[in-house]
C-alpha cells in the first residue's frame, strides 16, 4: 500500500526566507513522486516530479525537491519565498504509469511580507 504524509498543515515564512515543505511516503515498489500547487478555487498545477532519474529534481518557479530513499522523503524547498508562493501544496505518490495517485493532506503556505 502507498501513502503520503505531509508534516505541518500550515507553514509560515517571511518573504525572502527559505521554504521547506515536508513529505514522507511509503511504497512497496519504487515510487513516482510529485509536488503540486493549488491556488484558491483552481485545479492543481505540477511543480515537479521524480520518476527514478536524478534524485534532485528542479521544478517551476524556483522550487526543487530531493528524493531520499533512505529517509523515504521528498521534501520541497525554495531558497527565497515570494508573496506569490502563498498557496496550498500537495505531495503525491504513484506506482507508475496509469496508476492512481495518493495525495497527502496538503500544506498551506503563508508568506509574510
Partner 1 sequence: GAVVSQHPSWVICKSGTSVKIECRSLDFQATTMFWYRQFPKQSLMLMATSNEGSKATYEQGVEKDKFLINHASLTLSTLTVTSAHPEDSSFYICSAITGKGNEQYFGPGTRLTVT
Residues contributing to the site for partner 1 (CB under 8 A): 32, 34, 36, 41-46, 49, 51, 90, 94, 96-101, 103-106, 108
| Smallest separation, CB 101 to partner 1 (Å) | 6
Nearer to partner 1, 70 or 98 (CB): 98
Residue 86 and residue 113: Cα distance in Å, rounded?
11
Q: In the complex, what is the shortest distance from the CB of residue 80 to partner 1, in angstroms, rounded to a whole number?
A: 27
For partner 1, which is the closer residue by CB, 52 or 80?
52
The residue whose grid cell reads 520541497 is 76
Identify which of residues 80 and 99 has a Cβ nearer to partner 1 in the complex: 99
Q: How far is the CB of 43 from partner 1 (least distance, A)?
A: 4
Nearer to partner 1, 17 or 108 (CB): 108
Min CB(34)–partner 1 separation in Å: 8
- Here the cell at position 69 is 530513499
CA distances from 67 to 16, 62, 111 (A): 24, 17, 25
CA 25 to mean position of chain CA atoms: 11
Biggest distance spanned by C-alpha atoms of the chain:
42
User: What is the DSSP secondary structure assignment for residue 60, as one 8-state letter?
Assistant: G
Amino acid at each position: 500500500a502507498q501513502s503520503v504524509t505531509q508534516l505541518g498543515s500550515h507553514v509560515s515564512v517571511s518573504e525572502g526566507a527559505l521554504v521547506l515543505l515536508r513529505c514522507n511516503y511509503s511504497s512497496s515498489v519504487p515510487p513516482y513522486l510529485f509536488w503540486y500547487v493549488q491556488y484558491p478555487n483552481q485545479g492543481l498545477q505540477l511543480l515537479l516530479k521524480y520518476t527514478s532519474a536524478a534524485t534532485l529534481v528542479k521544478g517551476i518557479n524556483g522550487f526543487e525537491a530531493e528524493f531520499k530513499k533512505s529517509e523515504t522523503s521528498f521534501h520541497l524547498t525554495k531558497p527565497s519565498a515570494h508573496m506569490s508562493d502563498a498557496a496550498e501544496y500537495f505531495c503525491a505518490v504513484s506506482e507508475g504509469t496509469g496508476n492512481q495517485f495518493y495525495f497527502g493532506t496538503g500544506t498551506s503556505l503563508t508568506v509574510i511580507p
